[in-house]
Structure 1
């Protein structure tokens, strides 16, 4: 049975002020009653079971994970001493799974994605597992774009490689960084550029080999950590070595360099709920494109999203704004600047206002 590794260590800064350091967005119920983490765990249970589910996060989040996913064995929470981006997190998880079964499939999933068609997602994921089974190819899930999105990385889809349980797998020509608007429009029009979903499927021994090949510094550090697993020195060794590991993403460190990468199209209603503008897509709007979570009125206002549970809000004479009133903090920004919210978080840090972060 495959393993599922859920990456839950993000800080969710683009969802401030609702997302905070102590409870970032993956632990919030942004769409529906369940949290993003709970939904992610739930949708892979038919394929991997709870014993095959692993969650990677910092020690600060261990208690909240155990509270939100009480059925998860405590040893299945893989603790990162520090956030060192996704390559280190994937490598640490691979070390744990290598001790279980190095030839098993490892499914890597972010904890904060929304998927509306879960049965279709499960169907394609099973096909991706079949494609990765030989242990020669990385498999990723690409999303057919339906708007010129500048907030995602892209995958350039190449020729058909094969079909696995009815789902075609294509060769990846290359990965591309987040484009400007003009390039995003061109990507949308060509039909063979897909959004990079950040979901990856590979065999455990394959990703370990690729880490050694393409990120030798990371491999050396992980090797030292691996040697200490199961000993009393593990926590001390991990804390010392992890801080020195290179801070790179698995996309940049591995995928962009790997020779054999396949992509399957994920037509299962995917969304990266990574910002307030993304969440707005699921809000009910009035005839002027306004939406509100809470109570209030819009006068001479269009395309504005207000999040203010428990408070009444009046909005007059504006357009294309996001207004978030949460506990002790207020955010007001133009929609086209929502991707820059990390700058606000950093500015608040610089001002010494850590109590609101």
Structure 2
């Protein structure tokens, strides 16, 4: 077992709806609360178990919404309640991670924090731990650090990080400067990135001294920074509710990539560790089908009521949450998601478009199925 990392806190942002996984993922039960891998536990619990050897149970914090507080505590009975940070409403990742950084810096000046999404799937635990240990070493040296994933294919579904020159940091032999961030590419560009090997998938993991991250946030988003500090100063007092109610709704909605990571990269203070472990953000049903099947395109993956699903010369994914019999005959790349109050039928090719259906349902006022 690896040693727990001194002065290190893991932060798990557990928010969002996962709208590309509707109707499996809902506002009241987002994807991080589901077992999407057949492991028997939720993605959130898997994330906790992955981080536990590096931190111990008292040094993991979760940032989540009030609607999910009880479920988070049910999934993670070991977590100290003081380490469950409740957002009154969703204000995007800069506010969520910035809040955790500000509270933990208030409690323990000089603390190093690492942000790891609640709904990602990672295997090859020892390689993951080695990457985090290197990232913490880079953070001790004053860098904000991210872990980029060495691509296993030419994917158009992820943003990319372009790795620049290597840097000399004790304990981080693979550390390099981030040259730039790149949005999701088209297939031809993705193939070029895959061949280059200086391009890494952006997995949204950030490791930094909390005060360094907050300093960068102050330089780029001073009003957001000021609001988070005001909340953090009141967090462990009887003034928390009053301050949060007054300040939180006015905080700017912005992703940490834009508020911290990209500006830090432009200043040469963002480092990256290439992560040589298996990673997937389980972003849509096509990626879920691939994950469950182990990457085999010639099979039908089934999640849920296997004995109710009949398959004849078909491929894709069936998610069954009812007692209905589902028969799939002679269809390739089919996606079927059957729940009590909604049925989705699409194909792997169009899996990303499920998000637009959620938008239509919301516009039509049919929020009861969201």
TM-score of the aligned structures, taking structure 1 as reference length = 0.94
Are the counterparts in 2 of residues 162 and 168 from structure 1 also a CA contact under 8 Å?
no
Counterpart in the other structure of 1:131:
138
1:92 to 99, 113, 116: 99
Cα RMSD of the aligned pairs, angstroms, is 1.8
SS class of match (1:246): coil
User: Residues 235, 166 of structure 1: CA spacing in aligned structure 2 closer, same or farther, 3 A cutoff?
Assistant: closer
- Residue 313 (structure 2) pairs with residue 306 (structure 1): no
Q: Once the 2 structures are TM-superposed, how far is the Cα of residue 216 of structure 1 from its aligned partner?
A: 1.1
Are the counterparts in 1 of residues 297 and 316 from structure 2 also a CA contact under 8 Å?
no
Are the counterparts in 2 of residues 128 and 164 from structure 1 also a CA contact under 8 Å?
no
Q: Once the 2 structures are TM-superposed, how far is the Cα of residue 189 of structure 1 from its aligned partner?
A: 2.0
Counterpart in the other structure of 2:260:
254
SS class of match (1:83): coil
Are the counterparts in 1 of residues 106 and 232 from structure 2 also a CA contact under 8 Å?
no
SS class of match (1:120): helix
Q: Once the 2 structures are TM-superposed, how far is the Cα of residue 192 of structure 1 from its aligned partner?
A: 0.9
Are the counterparts in 2 of residues 163 and 169 from structure 1 also a CA contact under 8 Å?
yes
Counterpart in the other structure of 2:301:
291
SS class of match (2:168): strand
Counterpart in the other structure of 1:153:
159
User: Residues 256, 313 of structure 1: CA spacing in aligned structure 2 closer, same or farther, 3 A cutoff?
Assistant: same
What are the ranges of 5 or more consecutive residues in structure 2 without an aligned counterpart? 1-5
Q: Once the 2 structures are TM-superposed, how far is the Cα of residue 349 of structure 1 from its aligned partner?
A: 1.8
Counterpart in the other structure of 1:352:
365
2:32 to 3, 20, 26: 26
SS class of match (2:167): strand
TM-score of the aligned structures, taking structure 2 as reference length = 0.91
Task: Report which stretch shifted further, 315-324 or 329-338.
Answer: 315-324
Are the counterparts in 1 of residues 106 and 233 from structure 2 also a CA contact under 8 Å?
no
2:127 to 120, 132, 136: 120
Q: Once the 2 structures are TM-superposed, how far is the Cα of residue 47 of structure 1 from its aligned partner?
A: 1.4
Q: Once the 2 structures are TM-superposed, how far is the Cα of residue 240 of structure 1 from its aligned partner?
A: 2.4
Counterpart in the other structure of 2:279:
270
Q: Once the 2 structures are TM-superposed, how far is the Cα of residue 273 of structure 1 from its aligned partner?
A: 1.5
Are the counterparts in 2 of residues 98 and 204 from structure 1 also a CA contact under 8 Å?
yes
2:113 to 106, 130, 137: 106
User: Residues 287, 12 of structure 1: CA spacing in aligned structure 2 closer, same or farther, 3 A cutoff?
Assistant: closer
SS class of match (2:250): coil
Partners of 2:277 and 2:80 in 1: CA distance: 29
| Alignment: residue pair count | 355
Counterpart in the other structure of 2:75:
68
Q: How does 1:194-205 map to 2 (within 5 A)?
A: 194-205=200-211
2:247 to 238, 241, 246: 241
Q: How does 1:209-248 map to 2 (within 5 A)?
A: 209-248=215-254
Q: Once the 2 structures are TM-superposed, how far is the Cα of residue 60 of structure 1 from its aligned partner?
A: 0.9
Counterpart in the other structure of 2:342:
329
Partners of 2:328 and 2:58 in 1: CA distance: 49
- Residue 57 (structure 2) pairs with residue 50 (structure 1): yes
User: Residues 318, 101 of structure 1: CA spacing in aligned structure 2 closer, same or farther, 3 A cutoff?
Assistant: same
Counterpart in the other structure of 2:3:
none
- Residue 83 (structure 2) pairs with residue 81 (structure 1): no
Q: Once the 2 structures are TM-superposed, how far is the Cα of residue 228 of structure 1 from its aligned partner?
A: 3.0
